[in-house]
Structure 1
Amino acid sequence: MRTIVGNPAALANLKVALVHEWLTPKATGGSELVVQEILRSLDADLYALIDFESTNPASYLFGRSIGTTFLQNFPLARNGVQKYLPLLPLAIEQLDVRQYDIILSSSHAVAKGVLTGAHQLHVCYCHAPMRYAWDLTLDYLQSSQLGHGLPGGLTRYLLHRLRQWDVVSANRVDYFIANSQTTARRIWRCYRRPAEVIYPPVNIDRFPFQAQKQDFYLTVSRLVSYKKISLIVKAFNQLGRSLVVIGDGTELEPLRQIAQPNVKILGWQPNDVVDRYMAEATAFVYAAHEDFGIAPVEAQACGTPVIALGLGGTLETVRDIRHHPDNGTGVLFPTQTEAELMAAVQTFEQYRDRFNPEVLRDHALSFSADLFQQHYLSFIEQCYQNFHTDSRSPSNQKFLS
């Protein structure tokens, strides 16, 4: 029998499975950090649609036995299975987890759709309802070649069917966890299910605290359209302030073409370089509308203030100094426009001397991995006890009262 490491006695000697979407060297976002922390907390068997990390010597999953689906052997699967989007629901339903007492899913697409039995507890940590099927559908259609003409009609139909499956599969989850209040509201809007909010873990110890800053602004991100890095670059082209952009993605070359001399596009950089820039930057700039957004918290861990879009997760992780003069951690701007971002940078420069790097670091500690582990394990224990003592259908409602 598998046992749960460091967990309450009520959960000892139970078999646990953890289901995630995909495990590849390019998948290094906040959801992967949640998976890593869960595996540090629990002795769980791991499953995914595809796995290219257990054969990656640089990965913490190297050599681990990981269950996968038929997509593992599909052409170009290593570069991501999003191209096989219509097959993802079918694939996740082929995973055989019948032998487990507890199923944990880490889901931003289809992981929550794994098939379970009535005797099995299923708790889903939801990073977001499938965004390209819900919030980002129109953006996805406009930016994709498959969103226009006859292929566009087929794509719209497939996304419609995907939304239907997404709602149906939500009923396979006994309890939802959301990574932010924003995500909890999206879960309610899409599935009409309440969710317990447990913020994802941030590796605070990785990021060096530095009180003295250099004279440049920084953004670190995947260079894809919804991250709005082009908006940041265009705004700084006009401001003339020094900006460093770190990241890789489809927009790398287009960004290099529009960047003025004051904007340096460094592309992908190793962690030690990212950490140094994060610690030395005047401020970290963030224009994406994210459900949580881990990068602004990482910047605050370095004592670096944040200039961010005031929507989504940043409303929960960044305190605007205009409203929190004694413990502010950044400046928020209301809409994704160059003018609003430029105004926010100018506002930041007016308040620049009022930021206390130590206050920023202390604020980041409230999102530490230790706190995540405590809250997550405690919630799983509550769910398990309730699941086996309450004769009614499981619900998160009692945890939200």
Structure 2
Amino acid sequence: MTARRPTSTAHPRIAIAHDYLTQRGGAERVVLSLARAFPDAEIHTLFYAPDQTYPEFRDMRIRTSGLKSIGPFRRDPRIALPLLAAASSRMRIDADVVIASSSGWAHAFPTAGRKIVYCHSPARWLYLPEDYLGDAGRLDPKRLLLSVLTPALKIWDRRAAMTAHRYLANSSVVRERIRRVYRIDAPTLFPPFSPAVAEGEQEPIPELAGWAGADGTAGGHFLVVSRLQPYKHVDRVIEAFGGLPDERLLVIGKGPEKERLVELAGENVRLVEGLSDAQMRWAYGNARALVAASHEDFGLTPLEAGAHGVPTIALRAGGYLDTVEEGVNGLFFEEPTAEAIREAVHRFDENPPEERTRIIDRAARFSEEHFVDALRIEAGRMSGVSA
């Protein structure tokens, strides 16, 4: 991984790259943290859909690819898969240091200077295809297309990884994945939870009036915050609560599974999306516990819940091993099945964590301040200027 080192200046030009800004998720919140760390940085991304992602991006300088004018691609970038490698290879960025927040595309953006890749995961569709495809059948068009594209995309992807000057992993499991896929040893820098979710006034969610209390202000629900993708196992959580009629489950998220999950949900389950930060604070702050059932690369939502003193019931796997400490801020179940989740809820009911201060202190270890300081140091090293 060698390339020309840019000439040092007193004020190195920093740019931010991200795959695409078309949804509200943990990776997009990381980009907001990057933008707060480097407020003068331009953001480079394949697609930007202002109405689909966080409103804070409207005030930032964002440059997109030539595919941006195709509406269906903005709504669901996955359908543009055959075109994205070529589009990424043309996203040249003129800056001294580029910080690329990547799950498969931004790490390939060509740069005039040095590139730091903050990796959320090597591309799932290449290296964890079953997670990406979910229950897609043998003849499903997505599966057939991916089988055709994968050999060439793996070659392209590994070459793209070699253009980076520094790789950082967002969790222990991603660090191991990067080592296995790219043969790169990437130090771990945990992402922060968003201060926008943790701090400020709360606003009840109108759709929950009557279900969450007559005035919509009562809490006591269990909570899922997740993209509605097959590998997130939200269906298993809903199935679990089908056998817990006295408990209530609130699911916050959007994605291709939405219609199926709505049909699966019983009277004690509600699905909502597009909430404001104040409504997210209400959802977290009034929850009994967060339920996290997917194989996550990093367990961010337990930190967001923990900032409110709310514990997590989590799958013992992946990034949750970094953020959930049994007996301190939550408990684990061993497999993503409705039976295991239901049993974990019963255990939680019998012995819930009661020390909210310990839960909040645990979350505070993953502050945005620590994350920002670490990245400024990395950018300073790359540019030859002290942070």
Check 1:256–1:101 CA distance in 2 against 1; reply closer, same or farther (3 A cut). Answer: closer
1:165 maps to which residue? 156
2:370 maps to which residue? 371
Q: Name the Cα RMSD after superposition.
A: 2.6
Q: Gaps (5+ residues) in structure 2?
A: 1-7, 202-217
Check 1:377–1:155 CA distance in 2 against 1; reply closer, same or farther (3 A cut). Answer: same
Whether 1:303 aligns to 2:309 is yes
Pairwise CA distance, 1:46: 1.9
- Preserved CA contact (<8 Å) 2:161 2:182: yes
Match of 2:98 among 90, 98, 103: 103
2:228 aligned counterpart, secondary structure: coil
Supply the distance in 1 between the matched residues of 2:155 and 2:274 (Cα, whole angstroms): 37
Check 1:304–1:166 CA distance in 2 against 1; reply closer, same or farther (3 A cut). Answer: same
Q: How does 1:33-72 map to 2 (within 5 A)?
A: 33-42=29-38, 43-53=40-50, 59-62=55-58, 64-72=60-68
1:133 aligned counterpart, secondary structure: helix
Check 1:204–1:64 CA distance in 2 against 1; reply closer, same or farther (3 A cut). Answer: closer
- Preserved CA contact (<8 Å) 2:97 2:379: no
Check 1:286–1:114 CA distance in 2 against 1; reply closer, same or farther (3 A cut). Answer: same
Q: How does 1:317-336 map to 2 (within 5 A)?
A: 317-321=323-327, 328-336=328-336
Pairwise CA distance, 1:159: 2.0
2:354 maps to which residue? 355
Whether 1:196 aligns to 2:194 is no
Check 1:358–1:19 CA distance in 2 against 1; reply closer, same or farther (3 A cut). Answer: same
- Preserved CA contact (<8 Å) 2:197 2:278: no
2:103 partner letter: H
2:346 aligned counterpart, secondary structure: helix
Pairwise CA distance, 1:336: 1.0
Whether 1:134 aligns to 2:127 is yes
Match of 1:228 among 197, 218, 233: 233
CA-to-partner distance for each residue in 1:307-357, whole Å, 9 max, x for gaps?
011111110101111xxxxxx1000112111222122112212221x4311
Moved more, 234-243 or 293-302: 234-243
Supply the distance in 1 between the matched residues of 2:348 and 2:264 (Cα, whole angstroms): 25
Pairwise CA distance, 1:134: 1.1
CA-to-partner distance for each residue in 1:218-274, whole Å, 9 max, x for gaps?
212222211111100111111332222222223233223222222233454333223
1:332 aligned counterpart, secondary structure: strand
2:92 aligned counterpart, secondary structure: coil
CA-to-partner distance for each residue in 1:138-168, whole Å, 9 max, x for gaps?
34445447x5178744430202321221111
1:253 aligned counterpart, secondary structure: helix
1:226 partner letter: Y
Give the TM-score normalised by the residue count of structure 1: 0.82
Q: Provide the identity percentage.
A: 30
Supply the distance in 2 between the matched residues of 1:382 and 1:232 (Cα, whole angstroms): 45
2:122 aligned counterpart, secondary structure: coil
Pairwise CA distance, 1:78: 2.3
Supply the distance in 2 between the matched residues of 1:129 and 1:96 (Cα, whole angstroms): 21
Moved more, 220-229 or 264-273: 264-273
Match of 1:174 among 165, 173, 182: 165
Q: Gaps (5+ residues) in structure 1?
A: 1-9, 322-327, 387-401
1:73 maps to which residue? 69
- Preserved CA contact (<8 Å) 1:108 1:126: yes
Moved more, 372-381 or 150-159: 150-159
Pairwise CA distance, 1:84: 1.0
- Preserved CA contact (<8 Å) 1:11 1:381: no
Supply the distance in 2 between the matched residues of 1:47 and 1:149 (Cα, whole angstroms): 33
- Preserved CA contact (<8 Å) 1:209 1:302: no
Match of 2:25 among 22, 25, 29: 29
Supply the distance in 2 between the matched residues of 1:206 and 1:68 (Cα, whole angstroms): 27
Give the TM-score normalised by the residue count of structure 2: 0.85
Match of 2:78 among 79, 82, 89: 82
Supply the distance in 2 between the matched residues of 1:343 and 1:151 (Cα, whole angstroms): 35
- Preserved CA contact (<8 Å) 2:307 2:359: yes
Supply the distance in 2 between the matched residues of 1:243 and 1:116 (Cα, whole angstroms): 46
Check 1:23–1:375 CA distance in 2 against 1; reply closer, same or farther (3 A cut). Answer: same
Check 1:243–1:93 CA distance in 2 against 1; reply closer, same or farther (3 A cut). Answer: same
1:16 partner letter: I
Whether 1:253 aligns to 2:259 is yes
Runs of 4+ in 1 over 6 A off after TM superposition: 55-58
